[in-house]
């Protein structure tokens, strides 16, 4: 996480994983996605970023450009940038093969499958979405 000139490494402790209020009927594969952990363990419970706020696009923005995210956080254009691990093709396949949809994205205003999401591309490694918190 970056905010102004400060930076911090945030990790969900393994013993805290089961304490997250995961959406019902989500698999271990879905819960293991970096974007799922960010949304369900930090954005929703700690920052109050609801589905309505994601849909409105008023509090969270996404970019696949890490340098842009860092610049925006450093310049004060946003309060913080969360740089997350990219979703790998294997992770994506595990979620989709399980019949699940990827986590919400403000770009799609709904939970989307990988074929319909403008924020996910198909390659040997999916480019990262970098959520930027702006309140």
Task: Give the count of domains, the chain.
Answer: 1
Residue numbers of the domain that contains 26: 2-133
Residue with structure tokens 């004060």? 76
pLDDT at 102: 81
Report the alpha-carbon distance of residue 45 to residue 35 in Å, rounded: 14
pLDDT at 105: 55
Band (pLDDT 50/70/90 cuts) for residue 104 is low
Q: Tens of pLDDT along 29-58?
A: 999 999 899 999 999 999 898 888 888 878
Q: Tens of pLDDT along 52-97?
A: 888 887 888 888 888 888 888 889 888 888 888 888 889 999 999 9
Report the alpha-carbon distance of residue 94 to residue 100 in Å, rounded: 9
Closest to 66 in 3D by CA, of 51, 46, 85: 85
Band (pLDDT 50/70/90 cuts) for residue 126 is very low
Residue 111 has pLDDT above 50, yes or no: no
Looking at residues 89-113, what average pLDDT do you find?
71
Cβ-in-10-Å burial (0-12, 13-18, 19+) of 70 comes to middle
Residue 28 has pLDDT above 90, yes or no: yes
Residue 21 has pLDDT above 90, yes or no: yes
Encoding tokens for residue 112? Answer: 């989307």
- pTM for the complete prediction? 0.74
């Amino acid at each position: 996480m970056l905010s102004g000139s400060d930076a911090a490494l945030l990790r969900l402790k393994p013993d805290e994983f089961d304490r997250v209020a995961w959406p019902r009927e989500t698999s271990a594969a879905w819960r293991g996605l970096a974007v799922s952990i960010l949304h369900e363990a930090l954005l929703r419970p700690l920052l109050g970023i609801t589905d309505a706020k994601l849909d409105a696009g008023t509090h969270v923005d996404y970019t696949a450009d890490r340098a842009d995210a860092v610049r925006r956080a450093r310049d004060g254009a946003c309060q913080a940038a969360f740089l997350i691990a990219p979703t790998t093709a294997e992770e994506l396949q595990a979620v989709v093969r399980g019949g699940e949809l990827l986590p919400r994205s403000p770009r799609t205003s709904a939970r989307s499958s990988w074929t319909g999401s403008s924020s996910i591309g198909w390659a040997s490694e999916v480019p990262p979405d970098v959520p930027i918190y702006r309140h």
